[in-house]
Amino acid sequence: MSVKIMVDTKWDIVECSECGIEFCISDAWEQHRRDDHKTFYCPNGHSQYFPHQSEKEKLQEELRKEHIARIEIEAKLNGALDTINKTKKRINAGVCPDCHRHFTNLERHRMTKHSSKGDGDETLLRLRKLEIKQSKIEPNFTPEIADFHADIVESLL
Ligand SMILES: [Zn+2]
Ligand SMILES: [Zn+2]
């Protein structure tokens, strides 16, 4: 009677960093050691580990960076929204957002003091643009889009 053993495992040959002996470890086991950086031993007892960041760790770090970038951008945008709301409140109360003074006819004051020819009220135009950008923000934006938004916010504030 014969016993047939089928092994469907991929192996990798590694070399001991100390004595140079080559030995086989399975791909899966190697991946675990690359991920957890735990110590293992060559057949002669020399300890080894994989010091480099694994693909998984690189991805995790990228994600973490992306997450931080997103939080920062959201904070900036919330700050921008705050500015919009405060400015609107001032305007509704008749206070010029640029001179911080009260005017009985604010609209007229704005048109004479804060409008370049034909463009209308610059501050209000700026706020309107910012509001439009704010409304277009998607919940899952990539770092590239986040940078783009950061540029917009910085250029508008
Ligand atoms: Zn060794
Ligand atoms: Zn003014």
More confident residue, 145 or 14: 14
76 and 103 together in one domain: yes
**Ligand sitting nearest the alpha carbon of 96:** 2
Q: Is residue 5 part of a domain?
A: no
Q: Is there a domain that residue 3 lies in?
A: no
If you write DSSP's letter for every residue of 36-105 in order, what string do you get?
H---EE-TT--EE---SPPHHHHHHHHHHHHHHHHHHHHHHHHHHHHHHHHHHHHHHTTB-TTT--B-TT
Do 22 and 95 belong together in one domain?
no
Is 134 among the domain residues? Answer: yes
User: Tens digit of pLDDT for each residue in 107-118?
Assistant: 888 888 877 655
37 with 111, same domain: the answer is no
Domain hosting 36: range is 11-48
Ligand nearest to the Cα of 48, by number: 1
Q: Answer yes or no: do 64 and 28 share one domain.
A: no
Same domain, 98 and 42: no
Does residue 70 share a domain with residue 17?
no
- β-strand partners of 47: 41
Could you tell me if 44 and 64 lie in one domain?
Answer: no
Structure tokens given for 7: 């092994």
Number of domains in the chain: 2
Q: How far apart are CA 27 and CA 10, in angstroms?
A: 6
Query: Does residue 44 or residue 87 have the better pLDDT?
Result: 44
Question: Where is mean pLDDT largest: 23-32, 102-111, 133-142?
Answer: 23-32
Distance CA 59, CA 54 (A): 9
**41 and 109 assigned to the same domain:** no
Q: pLDDT confidence of 157, banded at 50, 70, 90? A: very low
Q: Which ligand is the nearest neighbour of the Cα of 101?
A: 2
C-alpha of residue 80 to centroid of ligand 2, in Å: 20
| Residue 23 CA, ligand 1 centroid: distance in Å | 10
40 & 71 share domain? no
The rounded distance, in Å, linking the Cα atoms of 31 and 2 is 34
